[in-house]
A and B are shown apart, each in its own frame.
Chain A
Amino acid sequence: MELPRFHRLRRAYYRLEGTACRACGAIAFPPRPACAACRSADISPHLLSGRGRLYSFTRVAQPPRGFASMAPYAVGMVRLEEGPLVTAQLADSEGEDLAIGMPMEMVTRKIRDACENGLIVYGYKFRPVIRPDGSPSGALDPRPDTRVSDTRPGTSAPGTEP
């Protein structure tokens, strides 16, 4: 991961910050310069909640370069409650307990091996939501009322630096 590139990505990676269209209300992640739904350029930054449901998952046995230390890891797509799908590693899971439809929540984790340039890349991953009594919620559980913890930095007013 290159330094200037990660600087550009930090809001999306750390805060799950996407965009909202002022014209039609559509929420996008990743952020887009113009709305995919109505093509308006009247868009503003929008912090997504990080809650969603698991759309699909897989366990990677042959990692690409830069992910050897993560192997074996699970990757999935999560349907965020605002609408967009996001692809990410899945955290806090052996992979055996995953099921399509299960509630997921965003966490911030180290994404890859240490970079030669010294950069440690943190970003979003998703983990199965744990109920307050410590048991994992299953695919058929309704969304819990409260998340166990809010681990996302920068959850103050949008636009402030993390």
Chain B
Amino acid sequence: MRKVDVIGIGQTDVREHWARSLRDLAVEAVEAARRDAGVERVDAIFIGNMAASSLCGQANLASLVADACGLLPVEAVTVEAACASGGAAVRAAYLAVAGGAADRALAVGVEKMTDLLTDGVTSALATAADADYEAAHGASFVALNALLMRRYMHEHHVRREDFAPLAVLSHQNALDNPRALYRQPMTADDYARSPLVADPIGVLDSAGIADGAAAVVLSATAPERRSKRPPVRISGSASATDTLALADRRDPLHWTAVGHAAGAACRMAGLRPKDLDLFELHDAFTIVTALTLEACGFADRGTALKLAAEGRLARDGDLPICTLGGLKGRGHPVGASGVYQVVEVVQQLRREAGKAQVKDARVGLAQSVGGSGSVAVAHVLQI
């Protein structure tokens, strides 16, 4: 397998982009990534998107993106792994380059969620769950995560308020990300008073529905190439699955796919988890952050919330997470989030994160999770 670098990144703001279509968003991110990479053509495009069929009445994004970006007749395909679609698209692009099928590949994650009302979006997102044994019973995606949060609180004797530091951290970090959806600070008091969506999950536990697109250009390592920006190496790439339905897990609070993917990516990179300088994790809900940190071995079962309370997850802590706001602060255009995570790790490693910069960041982990921990894709990047 060849070595693969990220040679260009691009992203749109994450917003309710009333005036912009899915096509507009994808083109903006792709153009930015191509400019950043200093390249015009690529050998393959991998689109990360979960739900354009439901949300926009549009499938066949392969052709849509290739055409809109002026790249015909390039090879292109959409990769879907629920909310991990973006990470899965990056992995597909990585495999194409590492395996020699492409010298240069583009991964673009895009999701346009705001054309439908809430019930339509909720239904589209529910397709990430088990259709017959979860969604068909009215167990919305939020409800499934609420079941986990309540069970976690019961087993580990924590209260809802103990999750507040995670929510506060994401919003604090997003203040320094001009691309982020939410750029107002949030206090533990705001958290305590936030309306409940499916108890104990409140509005402020949850990543927001929004529109956005992010793109990366991957290239086979070429030492002689002069590029506008320093290349960032993808030193680890892995993916893993778990049962689709939460009720089919051996232990619903133990997210083994998340652990397998992160562990395999770190092993491939020759790293131990403590070597990481930052972790862009999939904080769709505060409970997911807690379960992810425990599954990846950063905290013993039931103790992840202590890391937040002790400030160890802040940008100046020993395991910075969600350094530009994460899904919660940045917003969560589902199929795009996995690519935003990789873009942000690259910004950190290139020292281009501005006020959000993590000091001396040399190696970062980005992990995208689909469904309720049913599929996970992880990438380790380093300079």
Contacts and interface: CB of A to CB of B under 8 A. Distances in A.
Nearest to A28: B248
Contact of B139 (A9, A62, A68, A87): A87
A100 B137 contact: no
Contacts of A77: 147, 151, 246-247, 252
A80 to B, nearest CB: 10
Contact of B147 (A56, A70, A121): A56
Nearest to A111: B137
Interface string A72-93: 0101110000001111110000
A interface, over-half SS: mixed
Given A60-B140, A62-B140, A65-B122, A84 B147 contact: no
Chain A CB within 10 Å — which of B118, B147, B245 has the most? B147
B134 interface: yes
A157 interface: no
B137 A85 contact: no
B137 A56 contact: no
A58 B152 CA distance: 13
Given A58-B147, A87-B133, A87-B247, A67 B138 contact: yes
Contact of A57 (B140, B147, B246): B147
A1 B120 CA distance: 16
Contacts of B135: 64
B198 A62 contact: yes
Contact of B138 (A12, A57, A84, A89): A89
B146 interface: yes
Contacts of A112: 136, 138
B interface, over-half SS: helix
Contacts of B150: 56-58, 100
B119 interface: yes
A55 B198 contact: no
Nearest to B155: A100
Contacts of A57: 147, 150
A55 B151 contact: yes
B226 interface: no
Nearest to A1: B136
Interface residues on B, range: 35 or more
A100 to B, nearest CB: 5
Contacts of A111: 136-138
A136 B147 CA distance: 22
Nearest to B144: A87
B193 interface: no
B167 interface: no
Interface string A44-73: 000000000001111111111111101001
A123 B134 CA distance: 12
B196 A61 contact: yes
B143 interface: yes
Contacts of A59: 196, 198-199
B6 interface: no
A112 B126 CA distance: 15
A144 interface: no
Contacts of B196: 59, 61
A62 B122 contact: yes
Nearest to B117: A65
A38 to B, nearest CB: 14
Contacts of A12: 132
Contacts of A58: 143, 146-147, 150, 198-201
B140 A123 contact: no
Interface of A: 1, 5, 9, 12, 30, 36, 55-68, 70, 73, 75-77, 84-89, 100, 111-112, 121, 123
Interface of B: 118-120, 122-123, 126, 132-140, 142-144, 146-148, 150-151, 154, 196-201, 245-249, 252
23 contacts: A9-B132, A30-B133, A55-B151, A56-B148, A56-B154, A57-B147, A58-B146, A58-B199, A58-B200, A59-B199, A63-B119, A64-B126, A66-B123, A67-B138, A75-B138, A75-B139, A77-B147, A86-B133, A86-B247, A87-B139, A87-B147, A100-B154, A112-B136
The 5 closest A-B pairs by CB, nearest first: A58-B146, A85-B247, A56-B151, A67-B138, A56-B147
